[in-house]
Amino acid sequence: MANTSATEKAFSSNPDEAEKHAERQRGWRTLRRVAPFLWPADQPWVKRRVVLSLSLLLTAKLIIVGTPFLYKNAVDAMAGDNSDPSWLLAVGTTGLVIAFGMARLMSVLFEELRNVVFSRVGQRALRMLARETISHVHQLSLRYHISRKTGSLNRVIERGVKGVDFLLRFILFNIGPLILELLLISLILIFVFDVWYLAVVVGIVSLYVAFTTKVTEWRVRIRREMNDQDKDANQKAIDSLLNFETVKYFGAENREADRYDRAMAGYETASLKTISSLGMLNAGQSLILNVGLVLALLLAARDVMSGELTVGGFVMVNAYMMQVMMPLNYLGYVYREIRQSLVDMGEMFDLLGQPAEITDKPDAPELQVQGGRIQLDNVHFSYEPERPILQGVSLTLEAGQTLAIVGASGSGKSTIGRLLFRFYDVQKGALLIDAQDVRDVTQDSLHASIGVVPQDTVLFNDTIYYNIAYGRPDASQAEVEAAAKAARIHEFVSALPKGYDTTVGERGLKLSGGEKQRVGIARTLLKNPPILLLDEATSALDSQTERDIQESLKAMGQGRSVMTIAHRLSTVVDADQILVLQQGKVAERGTHSELLEQAGLYAQMWQHQLDAPGAPISSSTNSANKDADNV
C-alpha cells in the first residue's frame, strides 16, 4: 500500500511521468488483447500457420546470415588469394557467385512464402476485431449514441482495425527475428573476426535504439495531436454533408467550408510538426548508422593491411554491417508504426471498454407475451439528475387495447416509449409486460415483441425492398408487397422505373417525408409484433394519406396492444384510453369523450387544435365535435 501511495504521489508531482505510465499501461493492455489472436485455443489451424510462418522466417534468416561467407569466398577467389589453376578458379568463382545469387533468391522466396502463410491469420484477426467492435458499439446505450460524434467514431474504428494486422505481423516477424539476426551476426563477429567488431555493433545498436525510442515517444504525442485534429476535421465534414439541406437553406456553404478549413488548419500544423520531427529522426538515425559503418570498415582496413584479414574478409565485414544497418533502419520505421498502432488500437480498445448501460441479467429468460398487457407502476426517470422527466407515472394498457399518450413537448411522452423498448431503465418503480419486468427479460426477446414506427423514419442507403424487408429479412416478395400495400406505398413503388430495387439514398433523402414514413410503417407491418409503439407515426403525412394509414394501423392493431404517442389529437380520438401528461405527471386520463366532458387540459388542447389554421378534419373529428357541442 505504501508503494502504491508513493507511486501515485510521484505521478501527481510529475504529470509527464503519469502520462507515460498510462501510455505504457495502455500499450500492454493492447498487446494482451491482440496476443490471443496469434494463439487461439480453439483454432488449431491458426497455430499451425503461425508455427509454419516462423519456421519459414527462421530458414530465411539463416540463409541471410550465411550468405556473406559465399560473398567472401567469391571475392577471395577473384582476388587471387590461392594457387588453383585458372580454369578451376573460374569454375569455383562462377559456382560461388551462382550460390550467392541463389541464397539471396531463396531468402526472398522464404520471406514471401511466410507472408502468404500468415496473411490468413492477420486477416482473420482483423475481421474478428472489426466485428467485435461494431457489435459492441451497437450494444452501447442510446445515451452514448446521442452524445457521440459519428465521424470521430468512424475514424477510431477504422484506424484501430487497420492496426491489428500490422501489429501482429511486425511484432511476430520483425522484432523477434531482428534480435535473432543480430545475435547470429554478433557470434560470427566474435569467432570469425574479433571482439572490437562486436563492440562497434553493440555500440551503434544501443545508441540507435535509445535515440529512436526517445524521439519516437516525443513524436507519438505529436501524432496523437494530429489524430485529434484529423477526427475533428472529419467530423465537421460528415456533419456538414449530413445536414446538406440545412446548409443550403441558410446559404451557409462558405461558412461550412470555412469551419472545415479551420479544422484542417489545425491538422496542417500538427502534420507539419510530424513531418519535421520525422526528418530529424531519419537524419539522426542515418548519422548513427553511418558512423558505425565507418568505424567497422576502418577496423577491417587495418586488419587487411596487417595481413590478418583478406580482401574477401573486408567485403564480408561490410556485408554484415549492411545486414545490421538495414533491419535497424527498418526497425525505426517498425517501432514508429507499432507505437502509432498501439495508440490507434488503444483508442479502439477504450471504445470496447466503454460499458453498456443496458445489459441482460445473467440467465435472463425470454419475454413471454400472452396478451400484451403493459403496466407502468410509479415510474420515475430523468436523463440528468437535476432535470426530472417522469415523476411517478402509473398507467395500464390492457391486452389488445389502444392507449394514447398526449401532452405538450417535454412532458415525457417519447420517454415512456424509450423506457418500454428499454433504451433506458426506469430509475424508480417498474415497467411490466404481462407481469414481467422488462429489466428481467432478454433485450432481444423484448425488441422482437415490439414494433416501433418513429416520428422521423431513417432509412438505410439501400433499396426500398431492403428497407421494408428489414422488418423480417426472411419474408417473401409477396409478404413484402403485402406490407407495402397495407402501408399505401405499393402503387408508388410500382410506378418507379426500378420498382422495389430503387435506392432511397443516404437516410432516405430521395424520398419525401411521407414516403419515408410509409416505408417505415410497411416494415413494422411486416415484422407483425404483438405490441405496437407508434411515436407520431403519421406526423409527416398529408390529411388524406393520414386517414388511409390510420385505417391500416387500426386494422393492424386488432388483437394487439397499441401505445400511441401523439401530438395531433385527431389521430387518437378512437383510443380506448387517453393519458394526458403534464410536466412528467399524469394530469388526466380517460376516453376522448370523457376528457372533453372534464373540460380540462385535454379539452383546451383539443379546442386549440380545432382553432389552428389547417386543422385536419376527419369523420372522427366531426363526431367528436358533436360530442363537444353537447357538453
The proportion of the chain whose per-residue pLDDT surpasses 70, expressed as a percent, equals 79
Lookup result for grid cell 562462377: 94
Secondary structure of 210-247 in the HEC alphabet?
A: HHHHHHHHHHHHHHHHHHHHHHHHHHHHHHHHHCHHHH
Confidence of residue 616 (pLDDT cuts 50, 70, 90): very low
Q: What is the pLDDT of residue 436?
A: 93
Confidence of residue 478 (pLDDT cuts 50, 70, 90): very high
Q: Which residue, 582, 231, 535, is CA-closest to 391?
A: 582
Contact 71, 310 (CB under 8 A): no
What residue ranges define each of the domains in the chain, with the CATH number in brackets? Answer: 126-352 (1.20.1560.10), 374-630 (3.40.50.300)
Q: What is the pLDDT of residue 620?
A: 42
Q: What is the pLDDT of residue 626?
A: 37
Confidence of residue 171 (pLDDT cuts 50, 70, 90): low
Beta-strand ranges (E) seen in 427-574 are 428-433, 436-437, 450-453, 531-535, 561-565
- The DSSP secondary-structure symbol of 628 reads H
Contact 459, 507 (CB under 8 A): yes
pLDDT at 441 over 90: yes
| Residue 624: burial class (beta carbons within 10 Å; 0-12, 13-18, 19+) | buried
Considering the entire predicted model, what is its pTM?
0.63
Least confident of 217-226, 417-426, 440-449: 217-226
Least confident of 14-18, 96-100, 194-198, 335-339: 14-18
Q: Average pLDDT for residues 363-386, to the nearest whole number?
A: 90
Rounded to whole angstroms, the Cα distance separating 387 from 407 reads 18
pLDDT at 252 over 60: yes
Rounded to whole angstroms, the Cα distance separating 627 from 265 reads 66
Confidence of residue 87 (pLDDT cuts 50, 70, 90): very low
Q: Which residues of 129-164 are buried (b: 16+ CB within 10 A; e: fewer)?
A: bbeebeeebeebbeebeeeebebbbebbbebbbbbb
Rounded to whole angstroms, the Cα distance separating 387 from 397 reads 27
What is the helix (H) or strand (E) element at residue 405, kind and residue range? strand 402-407
Contact 392, 378 (CB under 8 A): yes
pLDDT at 367 over 80: yes
Q: Which residue, 227, 229, 180, 223, is CA-closest to 336?
A: 223
pLDDT at 134 over 80: no
Helix axes of 619-630 and 601-611: crossing angle, nearest 10 degrees: 120
pLDDT at 612 over 70: no
pLDDT at 97 over 50: yes
Q: What is the pLDDT of residue 627?
A: 43
Q: What is the pLDDT of residue 622?
A: 43
pLDDT at 223 over 50: yes
Least confident of 27-41, 252-266, 275-289, 514-528: 27-41
Phi/psi of residue 255, nearest 5 degrees: -65, -45
- Cell output for 212: 529512436
Contact 268, 216 (CB under 8 A): no
pLDDT at 49 over 60: yes
- Cell output for 628: 363537444
Are β-strands 450-453 and 531-535 bridged in parallel, bridged antiparallel, or unpaired? parallel
Bigger pLDDT: 161 or 287?
287
Q: Which residue, 465, 450, 392, is CA-closest to 426?
A: 392
Helix axes of 176-192 and 311-352: crossing angle, nearest 10 degrees: 160
pLDDT at 550 over 80: no
The CA-CA-CA angle for residues 403, 409, 412, to 5°, reads: 55
What does each C-alpha distance from 250 to 88, 243, 244, 276 come to in angstroms? 89, 11, 10, 41
Contact 163, 305 (CB under 8 A): no
Rounded to whole angstroms, the Cα distance separating 628 from 596 reads 6
pLDDT at 55 over 90: no
Rounded to whole angstroms, the Cα distance separating 448 from 529 reads 7
Q: What is the pLDDT of residue 259?
A: 85
Q: What is the pLDDT of residue 27?
A: 62
Strand partners, 393: 379
Helix axes of 150-170 and 15-34: crossing angle, nearest 10 degrees: 70
Computed over its alpha carbons, how large is the radius of gyration of the chain?
Answer: 36
Least confident of 48-57, 85-94, 269-278: 85-94
